[in-house]
């Protein structure tokens, strides 16, 4: 009898909180496979502080999360908080029952975020998305290759003209690839960052029209063509460029800050890794689009929505948000991260994140695509890059043609506005 009683007590102790205490369960969709231990630890801390709430995290690969979240919502499966790729936010606003986060009379917690980081999810006076997994592009440098080419990794290139000059010197003196610039899925993000930083407009705010066929857009894309045709940038994809850089075969690679942890691990014991800010374009101020995803709210009114908002407010706490940034490698998204003593010490002792901190104020929202014609438009951008790198015609001919095709694909969206 005593054995059965002890067994019963042991079984009760192993029951989930929701069974033992009727906790409210909320479902959180994300794509954080590599950072899941950190994310789960943060969610566990939240649960411990809120014993009436359980958070079920649902992992989906980043390439699938848009379709999987949309399918879950359409099927009526629980979705309370969802990670949404930044460029798809307008699509989600137009096609899913997203809930604004600042209409419940308790919106002061949103003031913790940098205003420019909230712009991506701002529609009028409503906030539909908050930053979570934001990256910023920066230059990764192989210090050993720099020195072999007669360069100083402590004096990295600051402008695109200097990047080109440095890349040529690396190629000429070492025979290794000088530089590459990420293009990301369909060439979309890489092109966006280049033309935005050059002072052009990739897409209008509503996402219905491309405008990077102006003088600045054409000039910077001509420079990207020159990198390829001069031989300092091998024509390849992001995975191949990343592999080459990690193998010590490339002097500079310009990609997201989210790659920092992986590059540090790959370079350890192989070569000296250095980092620098994204290059300036001529007389333009630095403007870099964030990469990555934001969080959107979908809970129905009632206990689940109340619990989901508690979770979002927890994630907005300076100590929690900064911990996520430190351990995941994503940008800090809360104002004045150095006001947190732990974060301040981290920045002082880990100089690799200094470009990330510096570029927080220079971050502009990633361009967002509309509901119709996006795949065709992005396919056109990808084909434009292929033709640029082939070098048979100049950017002045290729870019306007591509922009016209993109705008033809997006035309149905303008007709509905």
- DSSP, residue by residue, 190-242: HHHHHHHHTT-EEE-TTSS-EETTSHHHHHHHHHHHHHHHTTSS----HHHHH
Residue 104, pLDDT > 60, answer yes
- Residue 53 to residue 47: CA distance in whole angstroms: 6
- Residue 406 to residue 378: CA distance in whole angstroms: 8
The total of other beta-carbon atoms located within 10 Å of residue 8's CB is 10
Q: What is the mean pLDDT of residues 362-375?
A: 88
Structure-block tokens of residue 122: 């701002």
Question: Are 366 and 290 within 8 A, CB to CB?
Answer: yes
Q: What is the dihedral of CA 205, 208, 213, 215, to 10 degrees?
A: -20
Residue 284, pLDDT > 80, answer yes
Lowest mean pLDDT among 12-26, 215-229, 312-326: 12-26
Q: What is the mean pLDDT of residues 348-374?
A: 90
Q: For the chain, how far is it from start to end, CA to CA, in angstroms?
A: 73
With CA atoms as reference, report the closest residue to 385 among 170, 164, 181: 181
The total of other beta-carbon atoms located within 10 Å of residue 175's CB is 9
pTM for this model (two decimals): 0.86
359: phi then psi, degrees, rounded to nearest 5? -90, 0
Which residues are paired to 81 by β-bridges? 28, 297
Question: Are 136 and 278 within 8 A, CB to CB?
Answer: yes
Supply angle C-alpha 88, 128, 114, rounded to 5. 95
Q: What is the mean pLDDT of residues 280-307?
A: 94
CATH for 137-289+366-415, options being 3.50.50.60, 3.40.190.10, 3.40.50.2300, 3.40.50.300: 3.40.190.10
Lowest mean pLDDT among 8-22, 136-150, 341-355: 8-22
Per-residue model confidence (pLDDT) at position 21: 53
Residue 10, pLDDT > 70, answer no
Residue 30, pLDDT > 70, answer yes
Residue 416, pLDDT > 70, answer no
- Residue 37 to residue 114: CA distance in whole angstroms: 26
Tens of pLDDT, residue by residue over 172-213, are 999 999 999 999 877 899 999 999 999 999 999 888 999 999
Sign of the four-CA dihedral 20, 25, 30, 35: negative
All residues at 6 or more sequence positions from 330 whose CB lies less than 8 Å from its CB, including other chains: 132, 133, 134, 135, 257, 258, 292, 324
Higher pLDDT among residues 15 and 249, named by residue: 249
Higher pLDDT among residues 26 and 366, named by residue: 26
Which residues are paired to 253 by β-bridges? 140, 180
Sign of the four-CA dihedral 77, 81, 83, 89: positive
Instruction: Please give the C-alpha separations between residue 80 and each of 53, 56, 112, 140, 303, in angstroms, as whole numbers.
Output: 13, 10, 22, 37, 11
Instruction: Please give the C-alpha separations between residue 359 and each of 110, 276, 285, 287, 354, in angstroms, as whole numbers.
Output: 21, 11, 11, 8, 9
Each domain of the chain, given as residue ranges in start order, spans: 2-134+291-356, 137-289+366-415
The total of other beta-carbon atoms located within 10 Å of residue 311's CB is 23
The owner of tokens 């490339």 is 250
Supply the mean pLDDT for the chain.
91
Question: Are 90 and 98 within 8 A, CB to CB?
Answer: no
The owner of tokens 């989901």 is 308
Q: What is the mean pLDDT of residues 49-55?
A: 96
Q: How confident is the model at residue 15 (pLDDT cuts 50, 70, 90)?
A: very low
CATH number of 2-134+291-356: 3.40.190.10
All residues at 6 or more sequence positions from 84 whose CB lies less than 8 Å from its CB, including other chains: 65, 66, 69, 92, 129, 293, 294, 295, 296
Higher pLDDT among residues 92 and 159, named by residue: 159
Same topology, domains 2-134+291-356 and 137-289+366-415? Answer is: yes
Q: What is the DSSP string of 246-267?
A: HTT-EEEEEEEGGGHHHHHHHH
Q: What is the DSSP string of 50-91?
A: -TTEEEEEEE--TTTHHHHHHHHHHHT---SEEEEEGGGHHH
The total of other beta-carbon atoms located within 10 Å of residue 201's CB is 18
182: phi then psi, degrees, rounded to nearest 5? -55, 150
- Residue 368 to residue 88: CA distance in whole angstroms: 6
With residues binned 3-state (H G I as helix, E B as strand, rest as coil), the percentages for the chain, rounded to 5, are: 50, 15, 30
Per-residue model confidence (pLDDT) at position 71: 95
Lowest mean pLDDT among 149-153, 261-265, 296-300, 404-408: 261-265
The owner of tokens 């705010």 is 205
């Amino acid at each position: 009898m005593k054995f059965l009683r002890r067994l019963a007590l042991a079984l009760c102790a192993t029951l989930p909180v929701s069974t033992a205490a009727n906790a409210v369960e909320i479902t959180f969709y994300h794509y954080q496979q590599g950072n899941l231990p950190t994310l789960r630890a943060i969610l566990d801390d939240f649960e411990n502080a809120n014993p009436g709430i359980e958070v079920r995290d649902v992992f989906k690969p980043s390439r699938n999360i848009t379709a999987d979240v949309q399918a879950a919502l359409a099927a009526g499966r629980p979705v309370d908080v969802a990670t949404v790729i930044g460029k798809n936010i307008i699509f989600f606003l137009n096609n899913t029952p997203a809930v604004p986060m600042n209409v419940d009379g308790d919106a002061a917690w949103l003031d913790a975020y940098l205003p420019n980081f909230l712009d991506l999810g701002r529609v009028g006076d409503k906030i539909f998305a908050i930053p979570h997994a934001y990256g910023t592009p920066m230059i990764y440098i192989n210090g050993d290759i720099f020195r072999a080419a007669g360069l100083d990794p402590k004096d990295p290139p600051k402008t695109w003209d200097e990047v080109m000059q440095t890349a040529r010197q690396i190629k000429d003196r070492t025979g290794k690839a000088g530089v590459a610039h990420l293009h990301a899925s369909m060439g979309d993000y890489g092109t966006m960052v280049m033309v935005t930083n050059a002072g052009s407009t990739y897409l209008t705010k509503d996402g219905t029209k491309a405008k990077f066929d102006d003088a600045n857009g054409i000039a910077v894309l001509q420079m990207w063509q020159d990198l390829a045709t001069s031989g300092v940038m091998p024509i390849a994809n992001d995975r191949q460029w990343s592999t080459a850089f990690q193998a010590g075969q490339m002097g500079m690679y310009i990609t997201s800050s989210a790659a920092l942890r992986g590059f540090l691990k790959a370079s350890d014991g192989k070569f000296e890794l250095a980092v620098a800010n994204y290059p300036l374009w001529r007389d333009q101020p630095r403007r870099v689009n964030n990469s990555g995803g934001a969080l959107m709210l979908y809970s129905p009114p009632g206990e689940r929505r109340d619990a989901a908002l508690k979770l979002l407010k927890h994630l907005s706490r300076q100590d929690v948000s900064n911990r996520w940034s430190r351990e995941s490698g994503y940008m800090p998204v809360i104002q004045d991260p150095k006001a947190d003593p732990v974060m301040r010490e981290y920045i002082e002792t880990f100089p690799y994140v200094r470009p990330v901190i510096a570029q927080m104020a220079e971050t502009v929202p990633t361009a967002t695509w509309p509901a119709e014609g996006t795949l065709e438009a992005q396919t056109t951008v990808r084909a434009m890059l292929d033709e640029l790198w082939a070098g048979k015609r100049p950017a002045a001919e290729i870019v306007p043609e591509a922009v016209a095709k993109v705008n033809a694909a997006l035309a149905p969206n303008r007709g509905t506005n």
